[in-house]
Amino acid sequence: MDPLTLQPAATFSHRRLTELLNQAYAGYFIPVQFDATQLAMMCDDMDVDLARSIVAVVEGVPAGAPAGMPVGMALLSVRGSEGWVSAVGVCPAWQRRGVGRTILQRIQRDARETGLDVLRLEVLEQNQAGVGLYRSLGFSITRDLLVLKRAPGFDLPEPLHRLDLRLVRPQKLLKSYAGFHDVDPSWQRRLRSLQKRAPRIQGQALFHDGRLAGYVLFQTQTEVILVLDLAVDPEMPDRVGMARRLLFSLHAERPALGGYIINVPAEDPLLSAFTDLGYRVWQCQHEMVWPVTALPDDGA
């Protein structure tokens, strides 16, 4: 392989990182397309550390190509002693040449040297090559995360009367986040991620006997309602029913829009509230974890 160097992603502009990411995901199992603004926002929301994220650069390139061509990347987010790896991709012409492995080995080495306890990542179930790579580097599957979608328009299965529903600022609703979640959420749907997004999203709350019973955080987009968080107090009777009513009210008010939510844990007790209202599993991702205790035998 041509000489390969690893450089901090912070040395590249968001525009250049976006170009590289879109090239690397060309022909992927699902469409992936970013612009520079979206990438910058994602980096902020997810606490991406660009100084510790990696871009692979090939120095010996074909005639006519620019010297020092970026061919692969991986982003590293850091919160306390935990790290999350995302946007792992290699341009098609340099795939299956060890570029991805080299990038991930550097991230693993740096994670251990800087005192992280664990690295997490997600990989599509059908991406068996990716699953195999991560396994070989010491990652193991801990659970499945589901991406759910629903088509617009549906019959109204239940009346909305006598429901105490109110629009409430997400920042206020998130004060109840810890007590309303009994399953560890994915990185993108953790409290820190939602707090970062709170100024750009909306919240609808359900009250029971004057007490906050549950809420849904969402963002209305062109064709879908993006659901960021659905939560109901575990002490409430008919917890799933309350979650279903929250979703029902959301879609009943916007029947022309579909629905979308990423990375719902397969063991989430509110999952059936989504499926009852027409959400279907679109993709399944494996959450994989590497405890930063020892490096794999291949010398990462």
CA dihedral 257, 258, 264, 266 (to 10 degrees): 150
Q: How far is 73 from 54, CA to CA, in rounded Å? A: 6
User: What residue type is assigned to position 161 of the chain?
Assistant: H
Q: How far is 100 from 206, CA to CA, in rounded Å? A: 46
Q: Are 142 and 291 in contact (CB under 8 A)?
A: no
Nearest in space to 215 (alpha carbons), one of 250, 182, 264, 251: 250
CB atoms within 10 A of CB 243: 28
Q: Which two tokens stand for residue 198?
A: 């709170």
Nearest in space to 241 (alpha carbons), one of 212, 217, 206: 206
Q: Which two tokens stand for residue 225?
A: 């309602």
Phi, psi of 113 (to 5 degrees): -70, -30
| pLDDT, position 64 | 53
Pick the CATH number of 4-116 from 3.30.565.10, 3.40.50.10090, 3.40.50.300, 3.40.630.30: 3.40.630.30
In this structure, which topology does domain 148-285 adopt according to CATH? Answer: Aminopeptidase (3.40.630)
| pLDDT, position 154 | 63
| pLDDT, position 271 | 98
Residuewise pLDDT in 10s, the chain (300 residues): 568 999 999 999 999 999 999 999 998 888 888 999 999 999 999 999 999 999 999 976 555 555 589 999 999 999 999 999 999 999 999 999 999 999 999 999 999 999 999 999 999 999 999 999 999 999 999 999 999 999 997 665 555 556 789 999 999 999 999 999 999 999 999 999 999 999 999 999 999 989 999 999 999 999 999 999 999 999 998 999 999 999 999 998 888 999 999 999 999 999 999 999 999 999 999 999 999 975 554 444
| pLDDT, position 296 | 54
Q: How far is 263 from 226, CA to CA, in rounded Å? A: 12
Same CATH fold, 148-285 and 4-116?
Answer: yes
For the chain, which residues make up each domain, given as ranges?
4-116, 148-285
Q: Say if pTM beats, i.e. exceeds, 0.85.
A: yes
| pLDDT, position 61 | 58
| pLDDT, position 300 | 44
